[in-house]
Structure 1
């Protein structure tokens, strides 16, 4: 598909590529295949700018993130960069943006991101996937947190999220022993939505999932995601309900997309959604 008509200009890319494989869908591909798609600190900040732009761009609704090739999604932080750090280096160079690893691992954001885990998701790569909205894993995908083995710890938000999903026993084993999970184990532990048919089809299947999300009302998608994430972050079911009621109910009901959705239902046609103004 050719590039859509964008209202705003995308930020500069640093060792990653932006493409538009389907209507309203952004695909972000890490392009450090020889380095197992590990990320540098410059990449973290550049990616954080991309996600901020993605949330603002009205002609994009869903993103997919993946790694170049079929061997590695993202093997985490570029440890050679850390190893080469000098004592007189500016410490600000070695910190994550507010959104965390790749601007994703601690991101809240407005719009959903689907992870196409097409190989190793290790360290920050795993932490990134843990905070994406959906995950499609290739049959040979592998998930793990090897930080403790290297004298580090998973500092990008993945530990509490892993605990929420799999519980204390499995989370502790993964964090303290470096245990890696196969795609089948990740699916069993609810760390992935599905396993792709083949390694090569992982990204395409993630894009298909993103397309389904892009077909719903942009307003309804935003509000539903906020309610889901609020309950996830706070553990409060009622807070998730209250937030939507207090912040979005009036705007949603008065918005043109709700009227269009009901009108399309009555007329038995596909809705023509407008860009979200929420």
Structure 2
């Protein structure tokens, strides 16, 4: 279980998440990811960061088993870890390209939604199953990927949108077969990294400065409701049913 950084080409850093089986990150994983992205952005040699993942999917959010085992302390840690990781992507001093394959759920939306650009495999799906997991949050970031009413419908139903659908909405740069994802992400990163490094950093700061929504403040507001759900017991009640068949549903 690791977060690693590599430098495949001049000007490009690739931060890779690998937490089998589904890249559902524990508290320490979120903090490690935040540290890795911030370090890559501070490196004067780096002009673009690619955020990638190994395994079946890009990210499945927080480790629910850790939450169930450690209660409120784990919830506080997960809230802080996600906040720091999402902020690290958004505030990275250079552009961040998210290379998304398979599922991009929960915390994955926070990461991809705060990236500067997204390249996705044709099997990628994006969504927030938070209401099915006894949680809230990351609507801030889903709203950066799809129009407002679609965001609300996806959020309330826990349904997902495909990479092709997000490309139609303009939030995904390119959709490619999974085998071509790494190369496509590097291709975009290479084009970005060819620009002047100092000017890129100024451009990133300028673009963040004109955003209509303060993503840090907005997401922190959402997290307050996540913690409220935890305090009053509704989160545990919903979370305890996670993975169990509902009435009339055949177990698989």
Q: So what's the TM-score if we normalise by structure 1?
A: 0.71
Whole-Å separation in 1 of the counterparts to 2:46 and 2:8: 11
Following superposition, the deviation at residue 26 of structure 1 comes to 0.8
Q: What residue ranges of structure 2 are gaps of 5+ in the alignment?
A: 215-252
Q: Relative contact order (alpha carbons < 8 A, sep ≥ 6): 1 or 2 greater?
A: 2
Which of residues 6, 16, 19 is equivalent to 2:3? Answer: 16
SS of 1:143's equivalent in the other structure is: strand
Question: Residue 211 of structure 1 aligns with which residue?
Answer: 190
Q: Give the direction of change, closer, same or farther, for the CA distance of 1:127–1:84 in structure 2 (3 Å limit).
A: same
Whole-Å separation in 2 of the counterparts to 1:119 and 1:43: 20
How many residue pairs get aligned? The number is 214
Q: What residue ranges of structure 1 are gaps of 5+ in the alignment?
A: 1-13, 236-278
Q: Give the direction of change, closer, same or farther, for the CA distance of 1:90–1:190 in structure 2 (3 Å limit).
A: closer
Following superposition, the deviation at residue 82 of structure 1 comes to 0.9
- Does residue 32 of structure 2 align to residue 46 of structure 1? yes
- Does residue 103 of structure 2 align to residue 123 of structure 1? no
Question: Residue 144 of structure 1 aligns with which residue?
Answer: 127
Q: Give the direction of change, closer, same or farther, for the CA distance of 1:103–1:234 in structure 2 (3 Å limit).
A: closer
Whole-Å separation in 1 of the counterparts to 2:168 and 2:77: 38
Whole-Å separation in 2 of the counterparts to 1:233 and 1:75: 28
SS of 1:211's equivalent in the other structure is: helix
Following superposition, the deviation at residue 143 of structure 1 comes to 0.3
Give the alignment of 1:169-248 within 5 angstroms. 169-196=149-176, 198-234=177-213
Whole-Å separation in 1 of the counterparts to 2:139 and 2:88: 11
Whole-Å separation in 2 of the counterparts to 1:148 and 1:91: 16
Following superposition, the deviation at residue 144 of structure 1 comes to 0.3
Following superposition, the deviation at residue 227 of structure 1 comes to 2.0
Question: Residue 78 of structure 1 aligns with which residue?
Answer: 63
Which of residues 15, 19, 37 is equivalent to 1:28? Answer: 15
Bigger proportion of residues as helix: 2
Q: So what's the TM-score if we normalise by structure 2?
A: 0.77
SS of 1:192's equivalent in the other structure is: coil
Q: Is the 8 A contact 1:105 1:127 kept in 2?
A: no
Whole-Å separation in 1 of the counterparts to 2:212 and 2:26: 27
Question: Residue 163 of structure 1 aligns with which residue?
Answer: 143
Question: Residue 42 of structure 2 aligns with which residue?
Answer: 56
